[in-house]
Amino acid sequence: MDRAAPSGDATNAASPPSFSIEVAAATTARSTFVREPARCGQMPVRLALLAHLRGMLSLLMEKVIIVGSGCAGLSAAIYAARANLNPLVLEGRQPGGQLSTTTLVENYPGFPDGIDGPQLIINMHDQAEKFGARFSYAEATGLELDNKHVRIKADDEWLETQALIIASGASARYLGLENEDKLIGHGLTSCATCDGAFYKNVPVCVIGGGDSAAEESLFLTRFASKVYLIHRRDKMRASKIMADRVLANKKIEPIWNTVVTKYIPDEKGEMRAVRLRNVKTKEERELAVACVFVAIGHDPNTKAFAGKLDADREGYLIAKNLAESKHPGVFIAGDVADRVYKQAVTAAGTGCAAAMDAERYLSELER
């Protein structure tokens, strides 16, 4: 895992000398502490040694680790870094979260003409880095909680941290049909921004009726000859402004009350068509499409934390007072705990709250 050394100068976090000096200075301080109780005979030497080692360990520990680099994780990183906590952000394999796969974001405050999702993410990343946040592509794969002790597994390496902010977001949901895994990347995707341009002048379809489906459909009209919007109901769930835009676009043809029951690949394994079923009439038919864009919502990314923190039936983590988990020192932010709002601005807000809670928790530890 590539990451800078913990602690040290926030603006030059990778600098080993400043870290060594800090450890040396603190070790001296701890040694004094250990010798004293042993001399009074109030604490057995072994216990004193243990306390000494624990002190050393806390210096080697990260102060704050943030899991996730979407809107929530980066907002937490900005606040934690600006509070001089020198946070380490585990970005995961797909840095940037959902905003990095979206197009124009029109409702993030402060951008009257909108801002591209990936650009907003780059700006947040730069802002966090400017204040001393450190980044690693490692993915959180495990968590150990024991009293005040927090260990997070980053790829294969266990890291100790005093505070942890979980902002691991949510991932696109698929239908769970046959051959799905094989077809992803071969005409099956959940990201129009990533893959839309590969499908010029050919028919494609989008599955879903929410804001994501609306956004993806509109974006795809730039490339595809035709965009079928396949929705299981006869009305969109998307916000009115988005639904109106979709329905007014001549390139988009909604197919209501319909579900996809099968993906049909060609002999090369690329998407050729989908099998449709009308849920009212039960009528079935085949629709030729070169690519299927699935936009049916998301599932929270909580695999690494399974069973360790409170979660609801669908796996969303449960936060109290906005960003607190049931475990001291562990905080939660963004879509991983949001089954209602799921907006960039709410994710940013809870990221801020989590970092401020973490900062307060760390100052109480130091008292």
Active-site residue, from 194, 244, 266, 312: 194
297 near ligand NAP, judged by CB under 6 A: yes
Binding footprint of ligand NAP, residue count (CB under 6 A): 19
Q: Tell me the C-alpha to C-alpha distance, in Å, between residue 213 and each of 99, 114, 229, 293, 305.
A: 15, 19, 8, 8, 29
Query: In whole angstroms, how close is the CB of 223 to ligand NAP at the nearest point?
Result: 19
Strand 298-300 to 170-172 pairing: antiparallel
338 near ligand NAP, judged by CB under 6 A: no
Active-site residue, from 9, 116, 191, 310: 191
Q: Is 292 helix (H, G, I), strand (E, B) or coil?
A: strand
Piece of 3-11, 13-21, 155-163, 295-303 that binds ligand NAP (CB under 6 A): 295-303
Cross-strand bridge partners of residue 189: 293
Which listed residue (68, 97, 208, 254) binds ligand NAP by CB under 6 A?
A: 208
Which listed residue (35, 148, 200, 233) binds ligand NAP by CB under 6 A?
A: 233
Which listed residue (62, 215, 357, 359) binds ligand NAP by CB under 6 A?
A: 215
Piece of 37-45, 79-87, 127-135, 208-216 that binds ligand NAP (CB under 6 A): 208-216
Catalytic site includes residue 195 = yes
> How far is it, in rounded angstroms, from Cα 330 to Cα 76?
13
The 255-274 contact track toward ligand NAP, x by CB under 6 A, reads ----x---------------
Catalytic site includes residue 191 = yes
> How far is it, in rounded angstroms, from Cα 60 to Cα 88?
13
Query: In whole angstroms, how close is the CB of 298 to ligand NAP at the nearest point?
Result: 6
Residue nearest to ligand NAP according to CB distances in the complex:
210
296 near ligand NAP, judged by CB under 6 A: yes
Catalytic site includes residue 40 = no
170 near ligand NAP, judged by CB under 6 A: no
Query: In whole angstroms, how close is the CB of 243 to ligand NAP at the nearest point?
Result: 11
> How far is it, in rounded angstroms, from Cα 160 to Cα 153?
9
- Residue 100 has a CB neighbour count (10 Å cut-off) of 22
Residue 256: closest CA among 282, 279, 231:
231
Strand spans (E) along 177-270: 188-189, 203-207, 226-230, 252-255, 258-265
254 near ligand NAP, judged by CB under 6 A: no
* CA 191 from centre of chain: 16
Nearer to ligand NAP, 100 or 212 (CB): 212
209 near ligand NAP, judged by CB under 6 A: yes
Q: Is 227 helix (H, G, I), strand (E, B) or coil?
A: strand
> Cβ(194)–Cβ(172) under 8 Å?
no
Near ligand NAP in 92-121, by CB under 6 A: 107
Q: Tell me the C-alpha to C-alpha distance, in Å, between residue 345 and each of 107, 161, 333.
A: 8, 27, 12
Query: In whole angstroms, how close is the CB of 228 to ligand NAP at the nearest point?
Result: 14
212 near ligand NAP, judged by CB under 6 A: yes
Q: Which residues of 243-264 are buried (b: 16+ CB within 10 A; e: fewer)?
A: bebbeeeeebebbbebbbeebb
Summarize as ranges the residues that interact with ligand NAP (CB under 6 A): 107, 175, 207-213, 215, 232-233, 237, 259, 295-298, 342
- Give catalytic residues, as residue numbers: 191, 194-195
